[in-house]
Structures are given as structure tokens and as C-alpha cells.
Structure 1
Amino acid sequence: MNQQPIFLKPVFQERIWGGSKLAELFGYDIPYAKTGECWAVSAHPNGQSVVKAGPYQGLTLGELWSSHPELFQSESPVFPLLTKILDASDDLSVQVHPDDEYAGEHENGELGKTECWYIIDAEPGAEIIYGHEAKSKEQLVQWIEEGNWEGLLTKVPVHPGDFFYVPSGTIHALGKGIVVLETQQSSDTTYRVYDYDRKDKDGNTRELHLDKAIDVTTIPQSYKKETYDTFTQEGLTVTSFVSNDFFTVQKWDLDGQAHLEAGKKYMLCSVIEGQGQLTTGDNQYPLNKGDHFILPVSFGPYELNGSMNLIVSSE
């Protein structure tokens, strides 16, 4: 018997740097004037997606993970991934994330945070911070203490369609005018290095975490542009961005029809452009821009039709 795709209702997070593009680009009913994050596929305690329909309707993803392990067949004790869409209407803080070992020791057993970005939208001239120019820990500390951000931080221009892999230990920040789909470990641990001396809604400057940030930052750390493998099957072109111990991330560009078999792992799917249809057996499911769903391990042969772009990830 074919399983159904599991469609999820996202959770939205207010952020000082957020805006309204999640509503403008995806038609989401956002709850805040500064909505910065759509947690689209999430079982993290700070914001859980909820199953929209079908036999598991109303369950959080965390509850589904615990009560129906047969859908996932994973060895991870917690749902290990988190898919977000971020609206950086203003600059994000310059930050760095720990790896699993450091987070486990210093953040109450939280996972580390390795992540990656697919650039959905970027205003002309938009750029990110990726990496730094310090050649030693001493130089890193000196430049941070001096506030020599121009000397320290590496800026990279971005365009729609770009992809960036951001392993733990990477100093990074999205710049204003960028919308990304982010695939990451299921973690909410961030160490702020610099926040432009901004004040929150209560007039306070936001906390920095310099000691921990210096502890976990990789040195040296320079940006290198990557190239990616692509293959076409029927009407589907698949670009493989990254595959490692944390996640595999691909972009699927559909133009027409493709017949597919379920993989050996469950898959997280996000429609970032266009629309189409998923058919399995006698069941048909419309797919629209902004939809997020999981194909469980036991999902049988299926067919995709339409013109759409998806980001697809798995453990």
C-alpha cells in the first residue's frame, strides 16, 4: 500500500531583521510585520510543524517522528533536520554555530548546526558574509576586540540560484534583500559575533557570545566557489548540491512529467517556484509554490507533473 505524502503547516518566527516577503513571494498568512523565518519542516521544540491532513492530521512533526518511526526508519533519536525559508529584509547578525560535540557539552545536549542556503531571491547588489580573513586565533581575537569588521569579514555577492554550504565553525551572515531556503541540522544555537550595535524593541543591544564564538570558529576560513553535478531524467533535472554526514540537498527542476521511485530514505520537499501535481496510485496531490511535504520511506512509485522547482533533502 502506498503511503501518502505528509503535508506540513509551517511555523513563523518574528525577527528584528524580518519583513513581509514571505507573504509577498509565497502567499503565507504571516503573523508579524517583521516575519523573518518560516520553519517549514521542523520538529524542534522552539517551533514545530503540524501535519495538515490525512491519517496523521494535527500531529506535530515531533509526535509523528516518535509515534510512527516506520515512516522514517532513522537511527537518529530526534528528527535531525530543519527546513526554513528566511526573509532577510535587513542584515542578520554576524554569527557562527558550534559542531555537535561542542553544542552537546555547552548547550544542554543540543545538536550542532551545519546548514546550507539556496538563494531564492536577492535584490541587486545583495551580499552575504561568508568566512573571515584572520590567519590565526590571535589575529581573530585582535580584530574582534578592535571592531575591525571591514578587515575581518569576507563579503560575497549573491544572485538567485546560488547555493552556499555553511558548515559549523563558519562565520556568516545574510545581508539585507535576500530570501533563502535553508536546510540545517535541527538546532537553534547561534553565537553572535557582531550585530551592528542594533537595539531590540525594548531599546537594548542584543547579546553577543564572543567567547563561545571564538572557541568554535574555524581558522583559517576562506570562501571558495563550488560547482555542482546535474543530471536529467525525463522532464526532471536534478542538481546535487551537497551530500555529507548531516544531509543531502538537491534541486529538482521539473518541466513536464517524471516517473520516480521512492528512495531508501525519507525526503523533505519544498516547492519554491511554479506548480504541479504528484500522483501515486489512484491518488493525486496538487503542489503549489510554498508547499512543504515529506515523502516517507515506504512511499511507492510516483509521478510528478507540471512546471516547478523543488528543494529536496534527506538525512
Structure 2
Amino acid sequence: MKRTRDDERDDEVAVTGGEDGARRPAKHHKPTEGAGTNAHVVAQHYNARPEVGRDRRKDSPILHLKNFNNWIKSILISKYAHRGFHVMDFCCGKGGDLLKWSKAGIRHLVGVDIAAVSIEQAQERYTQGRGNRFQATFFAADCFGVSIYDKLPPGHKLDLVSCQFALHYSFESEAKARIGLENITKSLKTGGHFIGTIPNAYWIVKRLRAADGLSFGNSILTVAFDQRDDYPRFGHKYWFELKDAIDNCPEYLLHFPTFEKLALEYGLELEYKKPFHEIFQEESQNEQHRNLLYRMNVVNDEGTISADEWEVAGLYIAFAFRKVS
């Protein structure tokens, strides 16, 4: 699924208003617990999600989609995480990427997430993990609402920051996006990378415009909006429900051109950005990554995943920024 220049132009206008697009010096917003109105809703949602265990996860109706997402993350981490690295897993959830970090041979991991219950489960998963070759520190904090710098180990410098399937929550407001970027970059070394995965706002808006009403989806996905007339650059809320994963949680469109300009103010330069479908087309040609598809049970016995799972996979993109200053 190649992106064309027409796609990129549409991406630029998919969300309009609110900013002149001019580059300005970074604003330093005071990080307070009250930044934004839905942080507590998101925290409650993920705190309430049960840890079902490995055997129960095999019964998930979106098993292959979850495994596909993990395959994408494995490839992304293998590209940018190297032996001896100091890493921050930003919005780490229950620690689902611990094995990936172990295989990458990192030295130290800092895991932070807004959901305290998820942090407890991540700590437990790390403690019970076999053969962990890295040290890890976990703490709960609103990554987009408060400064986390003073909670990091003293003098800690990061080689890599990873934020998987969570950065779009920061687009509730410009203040939250800036607090998130400051948390991401303040301890990141020059030359270090910030990697992640996010919903593709262009794809979502395109589907909404093609829908008859304010929602669209399939047998496993529902995306619903309150309105479809205005597309502000920040605070454009929608309700996201993915069977056996996310229960009608408020999320926000992340207009990528706006985020790219904002990231540059914090010394981050875009290095990599691709939709999941395009990553699959490219990386499945790599013998090692193709074999990993089968080892991770990404595809079924016919070598495919369901049409609805494949459609949802197309909702996401992966990215990498390099800190240049």
C-alpha cells in the first residue's frame, strides 16, 4: 500500500485550523496533574483491563492482529535498539515488550505509564521473567501531564525512547503534546532515537468521510466521532473500540505534519515513517522477518489473517525520529 503525493497532500489538510504552521521556539508549559480532561478516563480504562495470562490470550478473537502488531514492534525495535542501550518505554502498559528488549541486549529499561495497575503488572512480569539480562525501573506517571525527569535515575542518559500505540493521547491539547515531547527528549542523547506506532489520522478521516454517519468499523472495530465538520489540530476526540483490547476509550487524532513540526522544536528530526501494510510488504521479503511471522503465529494455517484484522492493521503507522540537537 504505497502512499502517493496526493495522499501526503490530503494528510496535510485532513486536520485544519488552530495553527499557522510557523516554527516557533519551544514553549515550556508548567506540567501539572490537571493538564487535560481525559487522562483519568484513560488511566481507569487500562487499570481495569485484566491480565489474562498467556493461555487465555491464545483465545482472543484478534489473536493474529495482536501478533501482527508485535511483529511490527519487533522489527522496529531490532532496527533501533542495540546492545548496551539505555531505553525508556514511554507509556509501557503491562510491559508487553520486555522480551523484545531482552533480545535486543539492552542494559537498562525505564518503564513509565499512567495506569498504576499496569505498572504493577509490568514490574511483576519483569521480576518473573527468565533470563532478563537488563536492569529495569518502573513508575506510574501521566506521561503527557507531568514532568518525569526527576523520577529518572540521576544522570540517566537515554539512547532510545519507545512509545507504542499511545502517543495520540497527547494530542488532547498542545500543552500535553509539548509536555510529552519534553519528557521524551530531555534525557535523550543527541543521536538517539524516538520510535513508536500510532493510528494514522489520514486513514481515519478518510474512512469517516466515506461513512454515512459519525462512525465506521467492522466486526472487531468501531470508531465513532461526535462531529465531522471541524478538524482542529489538537483535541479532536473520537471513541475507539477494538474487541478484546480497547473498550470505547476516548482517543485523539494525531495530525502527523503538525507533530513533525512540533518535534523539530525539541530537536527531533523525522527519519522513518511507514504504514503497517507497507512495512509488511517490505519486511516479509526479508527471510529472517518472514520466518518470524510464522514463529510469532501472525498468520493462520493458510498463511493469512482475517480480512477484518488486516483492515485494522492498516489503521497504523510506525515512525522513528533522531535527536539532532
TM-score bracket for the superposition, by shorter chain length: under 0.3
For normalisation by structure 2, the TM-score amounts to 0.27
Structure holding more strand per residue: 1
Structure holding more helix per residue: 2
